[in-house]
Amino acid sequence: MAEAGHEVRARHEFRGMRTVEHYFTVPLDHSAPDGEAITVFAREYVSASHSADSAQNLPWLLFLQGGPGGRGNRFGSLGGWGKAAAKEFRILMLDQRGTGLSAPVDRNTLPLRGTAAEQAAYLEHFRADAIVADAELIRKALGSGPWTVFGQSYGGFCALTYLSFAPGGLKEVLITGGLAPLTGPADDVYRATFQRVAARNAEYFSWYPEDRTMLERIAGHLRTTPEFLPDGGPLTVERLQMLGAFLGGNTRVDSLHYLLEDAFTETAAGPRLSDPFLDQMQGIVSRRSNPLYALMHESIYAQGQATDWSAWRVLAEYPEFRPHADPLLLTGEMVYPWYFEQDPALQPLREVAGLLAAKQDWRPLYDVRQLAANRVPVAAAVYSEDIYVDRKLSLETAAAVRGLEVWETGDFHHDGIADDGEGIFSRLLGMARSGRR
């Protein structure tokens, strides 16, 4: 195995914490360690309550962010789960490859790889297996023994890959909203999540029945009047449905009401969508800042078979989510081919996305036999009504991992650690260490 180059470039102290900026050099393709290399960034966070000397003796905790395509959190201070973890850990916040400062992937950088086929081949190296291999090289470069890993959402998927292929690097694993299905096609995931999203729509509009009227008014307006976002891209009914992203959490679901309430403004030409509304919609529907999510989202479920635009195909089974349905429903985190037509940031990547959707020979992401023989303590929070990671599929995975302790709760949604991160982290850490719920 290759060794990671390691460089520390900056250290800072502010608001009760110290940070260290780490840059690592790792192989693009871990099966060819002498080939092309990329740079992976991670930031260390340590509570200033620990002296500089004593902090060097703290064990490491690696945080794996949700995604794919989500960079590591940038803490302004230690709160929530970070506050709880910093009591006894040095936190390493990884920018997973392709995100943040780690060989970022976007419409500007990808064309440097060459043709669409060459770009797609490059992106094959940006899944959980490569992220885990990066993490192992980083762990060794830091001189750490087996460390604690905390995975949120897609970070939990990566943690299962870690347990599959490099369990010797793990002391204990905590997972929130991230127990991926170990086998089966992506279609199974979307059939489950479409049903949960429909139920969440019903729940939301029971709280805010006036928002049902407003949503239909906006949709009707868009069917007759062209509206454009600040980047010049169209706001269509399909893109309006992407507001369902708000439904996946408790900490921001009510913000959807605030967004909808000032959708319209009066103009000389009659009612039009307001600038504040369009500006906020831009931030919700554009993938300018994280195109890797749209490109790689379905591939996180792919093992040995093509996804073939799974969510788009499964949508045909749920006509209530069509843009002309009455009543109109909001969608979840699904990615559709038209994203690469309507989003200016994704249009240059349309052919690449099609090649990835058609790819048949994706490598395995999990070793079911290794997970069945697992000896690493694992504790996972499963959110009963999670619209992104289905409860039933999560519990099936939990049962397939030897010794995995489950805490199922209906008190939180997918963004649970934004709601009560300190309590959730502390509970899971205690479960992993005690073997009891």
Per-residue pLDDT tens over the stretch 311-336: 999 999 999 999 999 999 999 889 99
Q: 250 Cβ partners below 8 Å, 6+ apart?
A: 412, 413, 415, 416, 419
Average pLDDT over residues 368-378: 98
| Mean residue pLDDT across the chain | 96
Q: What is the pLDDT of residue 436?
A: 45
CA distance 235 to 285: 9
Q: Is 22 a catalytic residue?
A: no
pLDDT at 416 over 80: yes
> Active-site residue among 47, 343, 414, 415?
414
pLDDT at residue number 2 = 81
Peptide bond into 327 cis (omega under 30): yes
Sign of the alpha-carbon torsion through 415, 419, 424, 425: positive
Quickly list DSSP for 50-109.
S-HHHHTTSPEEEEE-SSSSPPPP--SS--HHHHHHTTT-EEEEE--TTSTTSS--STTT
Q: Which of these, 84, 94, 70, lies nearest to 142 by C-alpha position? A: 94
Grade residue 225 by pLDDT with cuts at 50, 70 and 90.
very high
Is 343 one of the catalytic residues? no
Mean pLDDT value of segment 331-352: 95
- The predicted model gives 146-155 an average pLDDT of 98
Q: Is the peptide bond prior to 209 cis by the omega test (within 30 degrees of 0)?
A: no
Q: Predicted confidence band at 34 (pLDDT cuts at 50, 70, 90)?
A: very high
> 93-136, pLDDT tens digit by residue?
999 999 999 999 999 999 999 999 999 999 999 999 999 999 99
Percent of the chain residues past pLDDT 70, beyond the cut: 99
State how beta strands 60-64 and 170-176 pair. unpaired
Q: Give per-residue pLDDT as tens, 279-307.
A: 999 999 999 999 999 999 999 999 999 99
> Which residues, other chains included, contact 203 with Cβ-Cβ below 8 Å and sequence gap of 6+?
none
> Given this model, what pLDDT does residue 375 score?
98
Residue of 31, 361, 384, 411 with catalytic role: 361
256 token code pair: 């959807």
Supply the pLDDT for residue 437: 38
Above 60 in pLDDT, residue 383? yes
The C-alpha atoms of residue 129 and residue 29 are separated, in whole angstroms, by: 10
Whether 414 is a known active-site residue: answer yes
Residue 199 has pLDDT above 60, yes or no: yes
pLDDT recorded at residue 1: 65
Q: Count CB atoms within 10 A of the CB of residue 10.
A: 9
- The closest of 15, 413, 117 to 253, measured between CA atoms, is 413
pTM for the model: 0.97
Mean pLDDT over 70-87 rounds to 96
Residue 292 contacts residue 126 (beta carbons within 8 Å): yes
Domains and CATH numbers, the chain: 5-183+366-434 (3.40.50.1820), 186-358 (no CATH)
Where helices occur in 346-410 by DSSP H, the ranges are: 350-358, 368-372, 391-400
Residue from 47, 102, 153, 394 carrying the catalytic annotation: 153
**In one letter, which amino acid is 396?**
E
SS3 call for 8: strand
∠ CA 393-397-398, rounded to 5°: 115
pLDDT at res. 184: 86
- Does residue 396 carry a pLDDT above 60? yes
